[in-house]
Amino acid sequence: MAIKKFGSAEWNGGLKDGKGKVSLESGAMDAHPYGFNTRFEGVKGTNPEELIGAAHAACFTMALSKALGDEGYTAENLETKAIVSLDKAGDGFEISGIELQLKGKASGADEAKFKEIAEQAKAGCPVSKALKAVPISLTVNYG
């Protein structure tokens, strides 16, 4: 049986003057503001790209923890930032890439093994799979 989770959005008004609210099923984010200004003008609020980044970072980091455990290692600390690039493309925009920046260490794993397992986790993470149309890179800072 599939596990199903949801996020929802509401929008009122035009693209540039409109305002939206985004919510998560868990309630961790409820009616949080988003809009053209939060996406393109640096106004406080959220935007789709940072939500995708947060989801990807969380999924990848969990997948890495599992992959390390499967190899007999224990994550001491894993910190991931997912940088989502939004670029102009024709008349609109597109997500042109995601850069996962990982800082971490695992008990007993040397840097080469850690990086190898991190690459496997990047490929196997469900969010990476969902975003496979987008180039996803990984940089690792071990230690």
For the record, the structure tokens of 46 come out as 């959220």
Q: Look-up: residue for tokens 């496997």?
A: 120
Asked if residue 138 lies in contact with residue 119, where contact means CB atoms within 8 angstroms, the answer is yes
Q: Look-up: residue for tokens 């199903």?
A: 4
Give the residue, 17 or 1, on which the prediction is more confident: 17
* The pLDDT of residue 135: 87
* The pLDDT of residue 125: 96
* The pLDDT of residue 130: 94
Per-position DSSP letters for the chain, written without gaps between them: ------EEEEEES-TTT-EEEEEETTSSS-SEEE-HHHHHS--SSB-HHHHHHHHHHHHHHHHHHHHHHHTT-EEEEEEEEEEEEEEEETTEEEEEEEEEEEEEEEET--HHHHHHHHHHHHHH-HHHHHTTTS-EEEEEEE-
Whole-angstrom distance, CA of residue 95 vs CA of residue 114: 28
- Whether 49 shows a pLDDT value over 90: the answer reads yes
Q: Which domains are present in the chain?
A: 7-40 (no CATH), 48-142 (3.30.300.20)
Write out pLDDT tens, residues 2-47. Answer: 999 999 999 999 999 999 999 999 999 999 999 999 999 999 999 9
Partner residues linked to 82 by β-bridges: 100
- Whether 122 shows a pLDDT value over 90: the answer reads yes
Q: Which residues contact residue 68 at a Cβ distance below 8 angstroms, ignoring those fewer than 6 apart? A: 74, 75, 106, 109, 114, 117
pLDDT > 90 fraction of the chain, expressed in percent and rounded: 93
